[in-house]
Homo-oligomer: A and B are copies of this chain.
């Protein structure tokens, strides 16, 4: 198992030569990660990572989902189980290696290879036969100081790492890291209020109580809730946050008239809001979040339209984020219109829109971002963070908005060790696309080099206000 230096670059030799040059110029630039799910405590504590299964298999739903589809039960991968014994971890690892062939052609395989070869120096291709030897090699590496979180953070050349955090989180880990004189990395929180806007969701009244506690603002009426949310956003900003992330079933932003928001809010507090009212209030609140972003400057990002926990029995038994989330169709043109009519030209407001429904790239998102100064098209995400999907993305949006109205790459990962692999893949694919344009004489090589640097450094820095 080896990583070919030209992997994922276009096959045609002329285009590949251009792509190789463009990629080479950005390959070693620092990683900017404005949206992800790494736990900041791992960097604060800097303890050695646990066993190979717990590091690389169990928590990564990209990995567990396809193994599950291939007949491996989630519990046999350690999902929602106590920390594995050495024998259990080895068995989990062996199950993954035994099914190595099911990952052929997927980015999970490419990322995994990158991690094993580049980070851990593994040279054997995973298989039932090689599983134990690789396990032993990994275990040995993980015990070395150079494989602790902080050492890897530095080795990965991470310039900024954004985490995703609950509005009531005290962000203690972020503060401690920032205060640590032995640490110079930039790890910033992201305000993620989904569960506070879904007023019909289980536990929502309790969350309001907690919100009142941490904000010291009464949340027994709607103005109090708004004030408390604004306060928490300010708190996040004071701890380095630059963006707020939102993921709901849709992105409608219809305002509620006059006292209606307050009425539904109070009904929800006592569990008496109807499902339709809860949705109406959430849509209104999404609009409110945009207003707050105009005022406090937090970049607003949208990741909508996923049916979470599609398989009820799995959710009940194993919880969320185990691979059973399935995208649905989404609509932006009409849904975002109330928001964009109000704030789409607001100076300094940044709205970054992601999608798992590719049909909106050329039909809705690029046209929107090609008019509204505040709207940026987010990079391909989740299922679409993959070579062919990234190519489709660039082909779908570039002709309407060029490069400047796109967000730059986000890795959105909870798999810390996959960060370099994911960013490297993105750089290779963007280099390939830009090289194709150069080969077709759409623009010149000097411009192409500018585009590449802008995509890797300029876009995320500017769009996410880093």
Contacts and interface: CB of A to CB of B under 8 A. Distances in A.
Interface string A345-374: 100000000001111001110111111110
Nearest to A332: B326
Contacts of A337: 307, 310
A366 B340 contact: no
A450 B101 contact: yes
Contact of A69 (B104, B369, B384): B369
A153 B249 CA distance: 52
A386 interface: yes
Contact of A11 (B6, B341, B436): B436
A65 B387 CA distance: 30
Interface in A374-405: 375, 383-384, 386-389, 392, 395-396, 398-405
A206 interface: no
A3 B340 CA distance: 39
Interface string A288-332: 000000000000000000010011111000000001111111010
A66 interface: yes
A105 B398 contact: yes
A402 B383 CA distance: 12
Nearest to A451: B104
Contact of A8 (B362, B367, B375, B441): B441
A333 B307 CA distance: 8
A14 interface: yes
A263 interface: no
Interface stretch (A35-43, A106-114, A171-179, A184-192): A106-114
A210 interface: no
A14 B15 CA distance: 13
A402 B104 contact: yes
Given A7-B442, A328-B364, A367-B326, A105 B14 contact: no
Given A69-B405, A70-B405, A326-B368, 4 more contacts: A11-B436, A71-B373, A105-B437, A362-B389
A341 B313 contact: yes
A26 to B, nearest CB: 16
Most buried by B among A4, A307, A404, A451: A404
Contacts of A182: none
Contacts of A373: 68-71
Contacts of A404: 70, 101-102
A310 B364 CA distance: 11
11 contacts: A11-B440, A12-B12, A68-B373, A104-B451, A109-B402, A310-B341, A328-B363, A328-B364, A329-B363, A358-B363, A362-B389
Contacts of A447: 101, 104
A49 interface: no
Interface in A1-52: 3-4, 6-15
A334 B359 contact: no
Contacts of A386: 399-400
Which 3 residue pairs spanning A and B have beta carbons closest together? A386-B399, A4-B441, A7-B441
Interface string A255-272: 000000000000000000
Contacts of A312: 341
A443 interface: yes
B8 A15 contact: no
A439 interface: yes
Contact of A7 (B8, B15, B313, B440): B440
A103 interface: yes
A344 interface: yes
A53 to B, nearest CB: 20
A160 B337 CA distance: 40
A447 B127 CA distance: 12
Given A70-B373, A310-B333, A388-B396, A106 B439 contact: no
A12 B436 CA distance: 10
Nearest to A324: B371
Interface string A426-461: 000000000011011111000100110000000000
Contact of A307 (B334, B356, B387, B388): B334
A327 B10 CA distance: 32
Contact of A105 (B331, B388, B443, B450): B443
Contacts of A311: 340-341, 344-345, 371-372
Contacts of A307: 333-334, 337
